[in-house]
Amino acid sequence: MPERPSVLFVCVHNAGRSQMAAGWLEHLGEGRIEVRSAGSAPADRVNPVAVAAMREVGIDITEAAPRVLTPEAVMASDVVVTMGCGDACPVFPGRRYEDWALDDPAGQELAAVRRIRDALRERVAALVADLV
Protein backbone atom coordinates (compact mmCIF):
# COMPACT_ATOMS: atom_id res chain seq x y z
CA MET A 1 0.00 0.00 0.00
CA PRO A 2 1.36 3.47 -0.83
CA GLU A 3 2.23 6.03 1.83
CA ARG A 4 -1.15 7.74 1.34
CA PRO A 5 -3.59 5.06 0.13
CA SER A 6 -6.69 5.98 -1.85
CA VAL A 7 -10.20 4.60 -1.50
CA LEU A 8 -13.07 4.80 -3.97
CA PHE A 9 -16.62 4.26 -2.69
CA VAL A 10 -19.11 3.21 -5.37
CA CYS A 11 -22.88 2.85 -5.29
CA VAL A 12 -25.48 3.19 -8.03
CA HIS A 13 -26.53 6.82 -7.58
CA ASN A 14 -23.55 8.16 -5.60
CA ALA A 15 -26.12 10.00 -3.54
CA GLY A 16 -26.34 8.09 -0.25
CA ARG A 17 -24.13 5.22 0.92
CA SER A 18 -21.01 6.18 -1.01
CA GLN A 19 -21.31 9.84 -0.01
CA MET A 20 -21.81 8.97 3.67
CA ALA A 21 -18.88 6.54 3.54
CA ALA A 22 -16.69 9.21 1.92
CA GLY A 23 -17.71 11.67 4.64
CA TRP A 24 -16.78 9.17 7.34
CA LEU A 25 -13.44 8.42 5.69
CA GLU A 26 -12.59 12.12 5.38
CA HIS A 27 -13.41 12.49 9.09
CA LEU A 28 -11.86 9.30 10.49
CA GLY A 29 -8.92 9.21 8.08
CA GLU A 30 -7.81 12.70 9.12
CA GLY A 31 -6.19 13.37 5.75
CA ARG A 32 -4.13 10.17 5.77
CA ILE A 33 -6.24 8.56 3.03
CA GLU A 34 -7.31 9.99 -0.31
CA VAL A 35 -11.09 9.73 -0.67
CA ARG A 36 -13.16 9.34 -3.84
CA SER A 37 -16.76 8.38 -4.53
CA ALA A 38 -18.71 7.69 -7.70
CA GLY A 39 -21.84 6.05 -9.04
CA SER A 40 -22.71 3.83 -11.96
CA ALA A 41 -25.83 5.97 -12.62
CA PRO A 42 -25.30 9.20 -10.63
CA ALA A 43 -28.26 11.13 -9.27
CA ASP A 44 -28.74 14.89 -9.62
CA ARG A 45 -27.85 15.56 -5.99
CA VAL A 46 -26.93 13.91 -2.72
CA ASN A 47 -29.88 12.46 -0.81
CA PRO A 48 -31.03 15.18 1.65
CA VAL A 49 -31.84 12.56 4.30
CA ALA A 50 -28.24 11.28 4.07
CA VAL A 51 -27.03 14.87 4.45
CA ALA A 52 -29.24 15.31 7.54
CA ALA A 53 -28.08 12.02 9.08
CA MET A 54 -24.43 12.96 8.64
CA ARG A 55 -25.05 16.46 9.98
CA GLU A 56 -26.31 14.86 13.21
CA VAL A 57 -22.81 13.45 13.81
CA GLY A 58 -21.02 16.66 12.85
CA ILE A 59 -20.05 15.72 9.29
CA ASP A 60 -21.07 18.10 6.52
CA ILE A 61 -21.57 16.51 3.10
CA THR A 62 -23.67 19.35 1.66
CA GLU A 63 -20.96 20.25 -0.85
CA ALA A 64 -20.68 16.67 -2.13
CA ALA A 65 -21.90 16.06 -5.67
CA PRO A 66 -22.65 12.75 -7.39
CA ARG A 67 -20.01 11.77 -9.95
CA VAL A 68 -20.00 9.20 -12.69
CA LEU A 69 -17.88 6.10 -12.18
CA THR A 70 -14.95 5.97 -14.62
CA PRO A 71 -12.29 3.36 -15.23
CA GLU A 72 -9.74 6.10 -14.43
CA ALA A 73 -11.17 6.55 -10.92
CA VAL A 74 -10.90 2.81 -10.31
CA MET A 75 -7.33 2.69 -11.67
CA ALA A 76 -6.32 5.61 -9.42
CA SER A 77 -7.62 3.87 -6.28
CA ASP A 78 -5.92 1.28 -4.10
CA VAL A 79 -9.17 0.09 -2.54
CA VAL A 80 -12.57 0.04 -4.27
CA VAL A 81 -15.59 -0.42 -2.00
CA THR A 82 -18.81 -1.23 -3.82
CA MET A 83 -22.28 -0.99 -2.33
CA GLY A 84 -24.99 -2.43 -4.52
CA CYS A 85 -23.61 -1.50 -7.93
CA GLY A 86 -23.40 -5.08 -9.18
CA ASP A 87 -21.40 -5.62 -12.34
CA ALA A 88 -21.25 -1.91 -13.22
CA CYS A 89 -17.91 -1.47 -11.46
CA PRO A 90 -14.92 -2.21 -13.69
CA VAL A 91 -12.37 -4.61 -12.22
CA PHE A 92 -8.65 -4.07 -12.73
CA PRO A 93 -5.80 -6.25 -11.50
CA GLY A 94 -3.85 -4.94 -8.53
CA ARG A 95 -6.81 -3.24 -6.86
CA ARG A 96 -8.34 -4.40 -3.61
CA TYR A 97 -12.12 -4.80 -3.85
CA GLU A 98 -14.65 -5.01 -1.04
CA ASP A 99 -18.41 -5.27 -1.38
CA TRP A 100 -20.39 -3.88 1.53
CA ALA A 101 -23.97 -5.15 1.64
CA LEU A 102 -25.93 -2.22 3.06
CA ASP A 103 -29.46 -1.00 2.46
CA ASP A 104 -29.92 1.86 0.02
CA PRO A 105 -31.00 5.01 1.88
CA ALA A 106 -33.05 6.22 -1.12
CA GLY A 107 -36.66 6.72 -0.03
CA GLN A 108 -35.90 5.77 3.58
CA GLU A 109 -36.92 7.67 6.70
CA LEU A 110 -34.22 9.34 8.81
CA ALA A 111 -34.30 6.54 11.42
CA ALA A 112 -33.39 3.93 8.78
CA VAL A 113 -30.68 6.16 7.31
CA ARG A 114 -29.18 6.58 10.79
CA ARG A 115 -28.72 2.79 10.99
CA ILE A 116 -27.00 2.78 7.59
CA ARG A 117 -24.83 5.74 8.68
CA ASP A 118 -23.78 3.95 11.87
CA ALA A 119 -23.02 0.71 10.02
CA LEU A 120 -20.88 2.69 7.58
CA ARG A 121 -18.98 4.28 10.45
CA GLU A 122 -18.03 0.87 11.81
CA ARG A 123 -16.87 -0.40 8.43
CA VAL A 124 -14.96 2.77 7.59
CA ALA A 125 -13.26 2.77 11.01
CA ALA A 126 -12.09 -0.81 10.38
CA LEU A 127 -10.86 0.18 6.91
CA VAL A 128 -8.91 3.13 8.34
CA ALA A 129 -7.31 0.87 10.96
CA ASP A 130 -6.31 -1.53 8.20
CA LEU A 131 -4.86 1.11 5.88
CA VAL A 132 -2.89 3.37 8.25
**Residue 68 DSSP class:** B
Q: Which domains does the chain possess? A: 6-131 (3.40.50.2300)
Q: Is 68 a catalytic residue?
A: no
Catalytic residue among 15, 20, 73, 85: 85
Q: Which residues pair with 97 in a beta bridge?
A: 80
Query: Would you give per-residue pLDDT tens digits along the chain (132 residues)?
Result: 568 999 999 998 999 999 999 999 999 999 999 999 999 889 999 999 999 999 999 999 999 999 999 989 989 999 999 997 666 666 767 789 999 999 999 999 999 999 999 999 999 999 999 999
Q: Is 11 a catalytic residue?
A: yes
pTM over 0.85? The answer is: yes
Chain centroid, CA 6 distance in Å: 12
CA 112 – CA 99 distance, rounded (Å): 20
Q: Is 85 a catalytic residue?
A: yes
Catalytic residue among 38, 46, 89, 116: 89
Q: Helices 17-29 and 48-56, interaxial angle, to 10°?
A: 30
